[in-house]
């Protein structure tokens, strides 16, 4: 690395704030920054945050960015106008889906695919399931279809031919014919994105990739130009939904892999922090301004899903960290329905106008307003610098008028009711990823982070029965820290679709070596320090006649794979999943999945920890709070001045620039050697 380029900068852009973490690779020192997000142009917020800590971007080697650009474009349907060229007879695959519906019960609900029917055109071509080309692609028809789509205003193109996973020759021929005719590089082939059996999932993933290409591509180009204008001469990397990192160039080609980029970075950081602190089993709880994201980490590893629905009908089949999102953020609006029930969300005040206490025009109370009224948030010391002070009186009036009067509650009772309903929603999300999947919550600790997560740590422990909570040293910038510690990663998939007895082991080994070499080349194309490169491989396998597969890990060492080793690995995986084998049935291999992972050097989190012998006073005062139906006097602490080993009995409020932590009256906290705050019950 150039001696002048010594900083790694992790950036997480949220709806309200942009969080940054600066790692000096020479000294190991870390600094943080939190600035208001600039919704009209996210790059402005990023540059403002970097300028808060560094005078010159020439000292920055790498910017690692967790982004929600792709997520927001999908949810808000603000991607590019996209055209599809497909096999005759398969025009409506995107619309037919799996014949599911938005509302499980009742024959109602609408779904509009991201590519309307008039922009989905058919051409003659046919590949059989065994890879035989039955009908070569009609190139003249492909060119005519492309011209029609361009005339209709299409900015991006998806080429999806049936069975191209078995033989991509027709798709490649169409791509080559259009590469010089299409006015930009935004052309996606389904076999290039997902060479895997099952036409809807492949069509959906490819179409969504094309839909996002201009959006992500233009954003990254704009960001890089602005950074270069400020003196940046390093590399921009993007966090993927699987928790790995890829180059900006790869992100331009495969933007669909950024669909859960921002939340994934938080899970990676949570697992890293928890493993360092000796907690292999955690549930990450990321509470921002709009949403509450939860994910389970067992035995130190986050869980990956092969397929995710970003919204109904928008299916992405690419490895993603399993994250459950609900509308219970700080800006989620509280309201009373026609039946007299108190509800939280899904509408959010967001960052503009924000909660009532911001004084920017919103008159609907939010979760943040309730925390301010209850005394848990210091109205004179809001985080992030967006607002200099909060209007507690306005928040109380809004709660009284909107919630208190309809329900016959005092303002304080109404505010506490808002928090209880929000906590109940959060607890439900945690049970969904733990109890309902067979995990005992007593064996897991909560890791609340984000701007608001640490305010609800105690409720998460008590409502779900978790063992304790771990609040990171800097909870408000945890996702930005995740960008720095995340490994580089490139995924691969290939359909095999054969019985185990028919599987050619030598070809399987050759395919693994091929994707390992390709992934390693992609890693070497970046200027990122790596401590090791690891190849991971697994097979999707099932018994003949089944629909759902189990993931069977494979050894990728130099010793050749054997059919018997694969059989034994499948049996172990199947027993782990279902408890028993189905003797006598034929085993079938669906897909080969692999990943090449470039391991980042370990970050010593003790660099973030406070000194053990700090003498500065931590208690900055006391504040009257409302909890459990009554008033309490809570000590207020300067969180960052607490020494390692310090005990903090509740009720207590810990303040810092990026977040506020609230410890309930019946709980207590302790600062561990890494600066984390471990919250547990007083009677434990």
CB 32 within 8 A of CB 19: yes
Read off the pLDDT of each residue in 76-97 and give the average, rounded to a whole number.
Answer: 92
CA distance 248 to 54: 23
How confident is the model at residue 77, as a pLDDT?
85
**pLDDT exceeds cutoff 70 at 384:** no
CB 581 within 8 A of CB 546: no
Q: Would you say the C-alpha torsion 605, 608, 614, 618 has a positive or negative sign?
A: negative
**pLDDT exceeds cutoff 70 at 668:** yes
**Cα 75–chain centre separation:** 14
Q: Is 511 helix (H, G, I), strand (E, B) or coil?
A: helix
Polymer length of the chain:
684
Starting from the edge strand earliest in sequence, which strands make up the sheet with 587-599, in order?
30-36, 17-24, 7-13, 60-66, 235-239, 245-247, 488-499, 587-599, 532-543, 550-554
Residue linked to tokens 């959006």: 215
**pLDDT exceeds cutoff 50 at 1:** no
How confident is the model at residue 618, as a pLDDT?
79
Read off the pLDDT of each residue in 275-295 and give the average, rounded to a whole number.
Answer: 91
184-198 confidence digits (pLDDT tens): 999 999 999 999 888
Burial degree of 560 (CB within 10 A; 0-12, 13-18, 19+)? exposed
Q: Is 675 helix (H, G, I), strand (E, B) or coil?
A: coil
204-230 confidence digits (pLDDT tens): 999 999 999 999 999 999 999 999 998
- What phi, psi does 243 have (nearest 5°)? 90, -5
446-488 confidence digits (pLDDT tens): 999 988 999 999 999 999 999 999 999 999 899 999 999 999 9
Residue 74 pLDDT grade (very low, low, confident, very high; cuts 50, 70, 90): confident
Least confident of 38-42, 240-244, 543-547: 38-42
Residue 413 pLDDT grade (very low, low, confident, very high; cuts 50, 70, 90): very high
Q: Would you say the C-alpha torsion 205, 210, 215, 219 has a positive or negative sign?
A: positive
**pLDDT exceeds cutoff 80 at 387:** no
How confident is the model at residue 277, as a pLDDT?
93
CB 67 within 8 A of CB 239: yes
**pLDDT exceeds cutoff 60 at 233:** yes
Query: Could you tell me where the beta strands, DSSP code E, fall in 408-451?
Result: 445-449
How confident is the model at residue 478, as a pLDDT?
92
- Structure tokens belonging to residue 287: 């509470």
575-599 confidence digits (pLDDT tens): 988 989 999 999 999 999 999 999 9
CA distance 356 to 358: 5
478-509 confidence digits (pLDDT tens): 999 999 999 999 999 999 989 999 999 999 99
Residue 614 pLDDT grade (very low, low, confident, very high; cuts 50, 70, 90): low
How confident is the model at residue 106, as a pLDDT?
67
17-48 confidence digits (pLDDT tens): 889 999 888 887 888 898 888 877 888 999 99
Query: Could you tell me where the beta strands, DSSP code E, fall in 129-281?
Result: 133-135, 156-160, 187-189, 235-239, 245-247
**pLDDT exceeds cutoff 80 at 517:** yes
Taking CA 169 as the corner, what is the angle to CA 166 and CA 173, rounded to the nearest 5 degrees?
A: 150
Share of the chain above pLDDT 90, in %: 64
CB 56 within 8 A of CB 251: no
CA distance 357 to 379: 8
Share of the chain above pLDDT 70, in %: 96
Q: Is 625 helix (H, G, I), strand (E, B) or coil?
A: strand
CB 248 within 8 A of CB 216: no
Q: What is the DSSP letter of 453?
A: G
**pLDDT exceeds cutoff 80 at 372:** yes
Alpha helices in 434-544 (DSSP H): 457-464, 478-485, 505-524
Least confident of 169-183, 309-323, 415-429: 309-323
Residue 2 pLDDT grade (very low, low, confident, very high; cuts 50, 70, 90): very low
Task: Determine which helix (DSSP H) or strand (DSSP E) holds 655, and give its type and residue range.
Answer: strand 652-655
Task: Determine which helix (DSSP H) or strand (DSSP E) holds 217, and give its type and residue range.
Answer: helix 199-229
Residue 613 pLDDT grade (very low, low, confident, very high; cuts 50, 70, 90): low
**pLDDT exceeds cutoff 90 at 611:** no
Read off the pLDDT of each residue in 544-571 and give the average, rounded to a whole number.
Answer: 86
Task: Determine which helix (DSSP H) or strand (DSSP E) holds 35, and give its type and residue range.
Answer: strand 30-36
How confident is the model at residue 37, as a pLDDT?
83
**pLDDT exceeds cutoff 90 at 269:** yes
How confident is the model at residue 612, as a pLDDT?
61
Helix and strand element counts for the chain (H, E): 17, 35
Q: Across the chain, what does the average pLDDT equal? A: 90
How confident is the model at residue 547, as a pLDDT?
85
- 411-433 helix and 457-464 helix, angle to the nearest 10 degrees: 60
117-162 confidence digits (pLDDT tens): 999 999 999 999 999 999 999 999 999 999 999 999 999 999 999 9
CA distance 174 to 192: 13
What count of other Cβ atoms lies within 10 Å of the Cβ of residue 105?
Answer: 6
CA distance 524 to 490: 12
- Structure tokens belonging to residue 654: 């810990």
CA distance 213 to 160: 16
**CA-closest candidate to residue 596, choices 242, 191, 295, 260:** 242
Residue linked to tokens 């064996």: 443
- What phi, psi does 414 have (nearest 5°)? -65, -40
Calculate Rg over the CA atoms of the chain: 26
- Structure tokens belonging to residue 109: 């609900």
Burial degree of 290 (CB within 10 A; 0-12, 13-18, 19+)? buried
């Amino acid at each position: 690395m150039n001696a002048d380029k010594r900083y790694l900068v992790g950036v997480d852009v949220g709806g309200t704030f942009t969080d940054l973490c600066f790692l000096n690779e020479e000294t190991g020192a870390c600094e943080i920054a939190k600035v208001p997000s600039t919704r009209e142009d996210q790059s402005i917020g990023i540059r403002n945050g970097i300028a808060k800590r560094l005078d010159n971007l020439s000292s920055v080697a790498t910017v690692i960015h967790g982004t929600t650009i792709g997520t927001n474009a999908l949810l808000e349907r603000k991607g590019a106008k996209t055209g599809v060229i497909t096999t005759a007879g398969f025009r409506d695959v995107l619309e037919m889906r799996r014949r599911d519906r938005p509302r499980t019960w009742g024959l109602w609900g609408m779904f509009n695919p991201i590519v309307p029917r008039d922009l989905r055109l058919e051409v003659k071509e046919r590949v059989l399931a065994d890879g035989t080309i039955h009908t070569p692609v009609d190139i003249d028809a492909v060119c005519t279809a492309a011209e029609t789509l361009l005339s209709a205003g299409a900015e991006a193109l998806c080429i999806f031919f049936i069975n191209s996973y078995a033989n991509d020759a027709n798709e490649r021929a169409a791509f080559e014919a259009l590469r010089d005719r299409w006015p930009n590089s935004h052309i996606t082939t389904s076999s290039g994105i997902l060479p895997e059996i099952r036409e809807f999932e492949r069509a959906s993933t490819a179409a969504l990739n094309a839909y996002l290409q201009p959006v992500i591509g233009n954003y990254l180009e704009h960001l890089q130009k602005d950074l270069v204008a400020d003196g940046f001469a390093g590399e921009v990397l993007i966090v993927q939904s699987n928790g790995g990192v890829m180059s900006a160039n790869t992100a331009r080609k495969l933007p669909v892999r950024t669909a859960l980029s921002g939340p994934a970075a938080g899970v990676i950081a949570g697992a890293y922090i928890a493993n360092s602190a000796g907690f292999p089993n955690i549930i990450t709880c990321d509470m921002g301004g709009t949403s509450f994201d939860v994910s389970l980490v067992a035995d130190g590893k986050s869980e990956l899903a092969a397929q995710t629905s970003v919204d109904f009908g928008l299916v992405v089949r690419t490895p993603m960290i399993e994250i459950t999102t609900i509308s219970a953020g700080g800006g989620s609006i509280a309201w009373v329905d026609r039946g007299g029930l108190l509800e939280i969300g899904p509408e959010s005040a967001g960052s503009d106008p924000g909660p009532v206490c911001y004084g920017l025009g919103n008159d609907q109370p939010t979760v943040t307003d309730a925390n301010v009224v209850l005394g848990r948030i210091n109205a004179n010391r809001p985080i992030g610098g967006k607002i200099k002070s909060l209007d507690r009186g306005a928040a109380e009036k809004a709660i009284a008028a909107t919630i208190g009067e309809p329900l016959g509650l005092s303002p304080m009772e109404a505010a506490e009711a808002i928090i209880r309903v929000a906590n109940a929603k959060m607890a439900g999300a945690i049970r969904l990823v733990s109890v309902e999947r067979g995990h005992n919550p007593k064996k897991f600790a909560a890791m609340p982070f984000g701007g608001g997560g640490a305010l609800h740590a105690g409720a998460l422990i008590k409502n779900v029965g978790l063992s304790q909570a771990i609040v990171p040293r800097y909870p408000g910038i945890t996702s930005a820290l995740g960008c720095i510690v995340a490994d580089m990663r490139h995924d691969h998939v290939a359909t095999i679709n054969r019985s185990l007895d028919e599987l050619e082991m030598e070809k399987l080994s050759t395919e693994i070596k091929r994707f390992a070499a390709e992934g390693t080349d992609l890693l070497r194309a970046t200027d990122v320090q790596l401590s090791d490169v690891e190849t991971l491989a697994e097979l999707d396998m099932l018994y003949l006649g089944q629909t759902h597969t189990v993931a069977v890990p494979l050894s990728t060492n130099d010793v050749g794979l054997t059919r018997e080793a694969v059989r034994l690995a499948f049996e172990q995986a199947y027993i782990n999943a279902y408890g028993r084998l189905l003797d006598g049935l034929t085993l079938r291999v669906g897909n080969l999945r692999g990943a090449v992972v470039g391991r980042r050097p370990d970050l010593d989190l003790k660099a973030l920890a406070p000194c053990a012998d700090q003498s500065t006073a931590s208690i900055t005062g006391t504040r009257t709070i409302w909890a459990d139906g009554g008033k309490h006097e809570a000590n207020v602490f300067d969180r960052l001045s607490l020494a390692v080993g310090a005990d903090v009995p509740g009720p207590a409020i810990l303040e810092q620039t990026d977040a506020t932590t609230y410890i309930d009256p019946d709980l207590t906290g302790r600062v561990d050697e890494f600066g984390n705050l471990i919250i547990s019950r007083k009677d434990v």
